[in-house]
């Protein structure tokens, strides 16, 4: 009887967990027309970019590498007024499409060549080349620097 109760409770917890948790390695890309799930393998297959910059989150300058947000958005032919960035903890911020350029921001998949654990702001992190422009050293840009990125939504 006791064994039955324990395994029943265990099975319940396991099924609850698998429903509740989104795989942190999956980046959901969505617009009104399309939804695409991108894995690290998918992101690695897109054109890669990198830059080295200091940040308010790190002691030293670091090299970020990954895929420019502009390149990721091309995957769904995205065009809209705003891009909404969503984190694993449901932190979300909207920014105008005009912020997205060929040089920023980057959907970073690696810091100093290594993938990032969720506890290290990974696996995906929206970063800007902060050192390259005073405009990137502002509260608004910091608020758009979403770590533990889980979804990108294109809004009309
Ligand atoms: N995932 C996630 N990213 C986030 C946030 C957050 O709460 N969760 N806060 C944003 C805001 S509002 C700012 S100003 C910067 C700076 O965060 P920190 O100074 O708390 O490290 O991170 C941004 N990125
Ligand atoms: Mo902020």
Give me the helices (H) in 75-143, please: 139-143
Pocket test for ligand 1, best of 90, 119, 139, 146 (most atoms within 8 A of CB): 146
CB 48, CB 67: distance < 8 Å: yes
Q: Is the CB of 24 under 6 A from ligand 1?
A: no
Q: How far apart are CA 122 and CA 80, in angstroms?
A: 27
Q: How far apart are CA 108 and CA 146, in angstroms?
A: 10
User: What is the Å distance from ligand 1's center to 18 Cα?
Assistant: 27
User: What is the Å distance from ligand 1's center to 44 Cα?
Assistant: 25
Q: How far apart are CA 88 and CA 146, in angstroms?
A: 10
pLDDT in tens, the chain (156 residues): 555 565 665 565 555 554 445 788 999 999 988 999 999 999 999 999 999 999 999 999 999 999 999 999 999 987 889 999 999 999 999 999 999 999 999 999 999 999 999 999 999 999 999 999 999 999 999 999 999 999 999 999
pLDDT, position 12: 55
Q: Is the CB of 141 under 6 A from ligand 1?
A: no
Q: Is the CB of 91 under 6 A from ligand 1?
A: yes
The candidate with the shortest Cα–Cα distance to 56, out of 150, 152, 138, is 138
pLDDT, position 11: 60
Q: Is the CB of 137 under 6 A from ligand 1?
A: no
pLDDT, position 21: 59
């Amino acid at each position: 009887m006791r064994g039955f109760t324990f395994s029943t409770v265990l099975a319940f917890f396991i099924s609850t967990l698998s429903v509740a948790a989104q795989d942190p390695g999956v980046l959901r890309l969505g617009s009104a027309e399309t939804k695409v799930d991108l894995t690290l393998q998918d992101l690695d297959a897109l054109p890669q970019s990198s830059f080295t910059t200091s940040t308010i989150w790190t002691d030293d300058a670091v090299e970020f590498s990954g895929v420019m947000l502009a390149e990721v958005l091309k995957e769904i032919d995205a065009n809209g007024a705003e891009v909404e960035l969503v984190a694993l903890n449901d932190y979300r911020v909207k920014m105008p499409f005009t912020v997205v350029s060929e040089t920023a921001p980057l959907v970073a998949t690696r810091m100093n060549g290594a993938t990032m654990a969720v506890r290290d702001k990974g696996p995906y992190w929206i970063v800007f080349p902060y050192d390259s422009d005073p405009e990137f050293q502002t509260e608004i840009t910091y608020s758009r620097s979403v770590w533990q990125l889980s979804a990108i939504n294109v809004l009309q």
